[in-house]
Structure 1
Amino acid sequence: MKKHYEILDGLRGTAALLVVVFHLFEGLNPDYRTNPLHHGYLAVDFFFLLSGFVVGYAYDDRWPALRLRDFLRLRLVRLHPMVLVAVAIGALGYVLDPWASAVQRTSGLRMTAALALGALLLPGPTLPNRFDETHPLNGPCWSLLQEYLANLAYALVGPRLGPRALAAVVAVAAAALVATAVRHGHLQGGWGRSTFWMAPVRVAFPFSAGLLLFRRGWRIRLPGAYGWLSLALLALFAGPTWQPAGYYEAFCVVAVFPLVVAAGAGAYAAGRLGPLCRWAGRISYPLYLVHYPFIYIFTNWVNATHPTRAHALPVMGALVVFFVGLAWVVLRLYDEPVRAWLGARFRRRPPVPA
């Protein structure tokens, strides 16, 4: 079995925790200038970069023995069980939200369509009080759809892309991302219908750049990498509030994030912090998906009660602890057992003759 890049695991957990904090402050006040992590949505772009690196590491040496359908099955087993539970939690939160009152009333047909399409990770119908999101029951699912598409593109053409061709893809994708960030003024888009066109732009560069980082073997040796790189992510997400922010955010994604991943990949092991990094990596994916339905409820509570920041901060702190605990419970009692069962079931199937 291949070793894990423990520091990259830890950084994935750091980014997941930071995006949770960003969403809580966003629910408290949607004005990003008052959000301590006003560039926190760039965590999604960082996840895409990590994904490209990890997919290359996990599967590059398995082609052509690995068939397309086997690769897709492996990725579905890894990712989709959490999608199902995230959509289910989102549906329950939408229906049972005590602070939404009549604002979230919708027809049973529309709700059923949102639940069915969400389970397939497809954009669903517009629901009241969901800000025109493409995945109204659990907003972050928009990025999982892009993750699936990036994995499919990798399986179809990635193994046959030589170094120059891959570098060309990265260069074109970088130009598109920079142009989008500058023209749009920021990279906060892709999750809504009006900015859905930004979603493939946001995934194309980081995913392909992560794959290129892995294949070219670019690594940076940095003592104490996990701590320093976690602080770097915090500093980047809390960066300047210049408006427009497009130049800064494009610089973070195109120039700085690859350096962070290269430094995180400079060693497999994280030393004494290894257990923490491994745990943070395990919990990052469920944390990212299960927290957001409660952000909707928190936002409705804020709008209904108008708490002061001093009153809201203890609630936000308690929610962070709750999110981490819930993510751990879902991971241990649902996600890992289901993935283990599915993996064993597929391994028992007899090989299909060529």
Structure 2
Amino acid sequence: MELTQTKPHYEILDGLRGVAAITVVFFHVFEIFSNGDHTKQIINHGYLAVDFFFMLSGFVISYAYDNRWNTMTLKDFLIRRLVRLQPMIIIGSLIGASLFYFQYSPDLGWGEIAETPIWKVILVMMIGMTVFPVGKSLDIRGWGEMHPLNGPSWSLFYEYIANIVYALILRRLSKLVLIILMIVAAGFTIHLAFTNPNGDIIGGWSIDDSTQLKIGFTRLAFPFIAGIVLAKTLKLKFTPKAFFTTSVLLVAVLAFPRLGGTTAHWQNALYECFALMIVFPLIIWLAAGGKVIGKTANKVCKFLGDISYPLYITHFPIAYVFYAWAVNGKNTMETSWLQGLLTVVVSIMIAYVSMKCYDIPVRKWLAAKLITKK
């Protein structure tokens, strides 16, 4: 987190970001074995980690920047966010391009992946480094993703939009207006969950379908605004063993089995709205009121916080390779659990190396060059 020196640092929120990121990796590793059936997905609600990230982002940005606008311009703010987010977006796109020909797409198959011209892969990589989405003509994987080489970059596209809207509009609004906007956004989220054919809020990663864009903005609006409201209104109360309690609660929410089966979708829709609107704010409240006690706990929280963003933005190309191995060898979850676990471990290692050898040095260099100390 990028906080002012005069404010306390919420180490537990950093740690929770890492817990959520690791859960996302497990979610994606298991995903290949569900064959598109949402009821069979292990770590069933792992995709809600993105919504949790949006809520954390709103909370942290409001907490860190609300009282700095008398000494900070819009340009200063945007530069700070670029320095924080952009380096890893670049490396994620580069890793995605490097591993592309070792991967697999259920919609295209090995042959069409192998026949994709390298100039097109490089072009998609370069566009991906800017976080701007690509359209159907550059969908080299065939999944309709706005970032075919590194799927999770879609959420960073919305993250940038949220940052810009915060700087231009949301920071200027009163608590009452923000609460009203939050309630309106909650209404859109509820409508999405209960009208989506699958009874969930999955989606947002494509620009080829207006429905996907609507899902993306809906998933962004409520948690981000709710995070800002939490930062402005929370009255913290000390929470004993907060990191353990909130970590277990977060993993339980993300791993909770699908409700309602293939027919009673309203049950799952109700669960997701409850998780997003009740449990996630509760987790943030409990975590913000907690303290990390002991050197070991501090190191764990710091490690998890440090790798959280690098892990989230670099792991999917590695998961793509695992998908290729699993499908090509006709492997089941029972016969490939060890390779799946290895995929998680390798993803964490690559995230750590990227963070230590690239992200931190590059951000320090950029900060020294671009950020004016106030």
Residue 191 of structure 2, aligned match among 179, 183, 207 = 179
For the structure 1 residues 108 and 252, does the alpha-carbon distance in structure 2 shift closer, same or farther, using more than 3 Å as the test? same
Q: Which moved more, 1:75-84 or 1:320-329?
A: 320-329
User: Which structure 2 residue ranges, 5 or more long, are not aligned?
Assistant: none
Distance in 2 (alpha carbons) for counterparts of 1:220 and 1:299: 45
Partner of 2:293: 271
The aligned runs of 1:234-313 (5 Å cut-off) are: 234-243=251-260, 244=265, 245-267=268-290, 269-272=291-294, 273-313=297-337
Give the AA of the match of 1:186. Answer: D
Distance 1:76 1:53 in 2: 18
Task: Tell me, in whole angstroms, the C-alpha distance in 1 between the residues paired with 2:204 and 2:314.
Answer: 20
Alignment of 1:86-97 (within 5 A): 86-97=92-103
Does residue 44 in structure 1 map to residue 50 in structure 2? yes
Residue among 150, 168, 179 paired with 1:167: 179
Query: Mapping of 1:108-127 within 5 angstroms?
Result: 108-126=118-136, 127=139
How far has the Cα of 1:346 moved from its partner? Answer: 1.8
Structure 1: give runs of 5+ residues left out of the alignment.
none
Q: What one-letter code is carried by the residue in structure 2 that aligns with 1:46?
A: F
Structure 1 residues 68 and 38: alpha-carbon distance in aligned structure 2, compared to 1, 3 A threshold: same
1:59-91 CA-to-partner distances (Å, cap 9, x unmatched) read: 111013210011000000000000000001111
Please report the TM-score for the alignment, with normalisation by the length of structure 2.
Answer: 0.89
**Is 1:26–1:32's contact at 8 Å kept on the other side of the alignment?**
no
Check if 1:188 corresponds to 2:202.
Answer: yes
93 and 71 in structure 1: CA distance in 2 versus 1, 3 angstrom threshold: same
Query: Residues 129, 345 of structure 1: CA spacing in aligned structure 2 closer, same or farther, 3 A cutoff?
Result: closer
Q: Pick from 35, 60, 70: which aligns with 2:76? A: 70
- Tell me the residue number matched to 2:354: 330
Q: Which residue pairs with 1:140 in the alignment?
A: 152
Query: TM-score normalised to the size of structure 1?
Result: 0.94
| Matching residue's letter, 2:23 | L
Deviation at 1:96, TM superposition (A): 4.2
Quote the RMSD (CA, aligned, Å): 1.9
Please tell me whether the aligned partners of residues 114 and 125 of structure 1 are also in contact (alpha carbons under 8 angstroms): no
How far apart are 1:320 and its partner, in Å? 1.1
**Which whole-Å CA distance do the structure 1 matches of 2:181 and 2:12 have between them?**
27
- Partner of residue 226, structure 1: 243
Q: CA deviation at 1:223?
A: 1.2
1:88 touches 1:115 (CA, 8 Å); kept in 2? yes
